[in-house]
């Protein structure tokens, strides 16, 4: 996460950060996975709690038991 983006998230009040996260969760931009991580870090730093549906699981879908297969 860049310092600029950290400053951007820190510029929000708690309510604004919550609203921003909810709006981004609805839109699901291409960079959503990276933004989830950044939001999770900022939320933890502030000691806030969001719904699990909003920020998703702490790990990716592969850690939830979904098998991935590949060929060499």
Q: Between these two residues, 68 and 54, which has the higher pLDDT value?
A: 54
The pLDDT score that the predictor gives to residue 54 is 67
How far apart CA 28 and CA 35 sit, in angstroms, is 10
Neighbour-count burial of 35, counting CB atoms closer than 10 A to its CB (0-12 exposed, 13-18 middle, 19+ buried): buried
How far apart CA 62 and CA 59 sit, in angstroms, is 8
Instruction: Give residue-wise pLDDT tens across range 4-54.
Output: 888 999 999 999 999 999 999 899 999 988 888 889 889 899 998 877 666
Domain residue spans in the chain? 3-59
How far apart CA 55 and CA 52 sit, in angstroms, is 6
The pLDDT score that the predictor gives to residue 70 is 59
Single pTM value for the model: 0.67
Q: Apex CA 63: angle with CA 22 and CA 71, to 5°? A: 120
């Amino acid at each position: 996460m860049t310092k600029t983006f950290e400053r951007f998230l820190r510029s929000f009040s708690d309510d604004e950060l919550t609203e921003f996260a909810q709006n981004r969760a609805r839109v699901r931009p291409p960079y959503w996975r990276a933004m989830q991580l950044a939001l999770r870090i900022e939320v933890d730093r502030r000691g806030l709690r969001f719904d699990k549906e909003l920020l998703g699981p702490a790990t990716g879908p592969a850690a939830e038991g979904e098998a991935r297969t590949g060929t060499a």
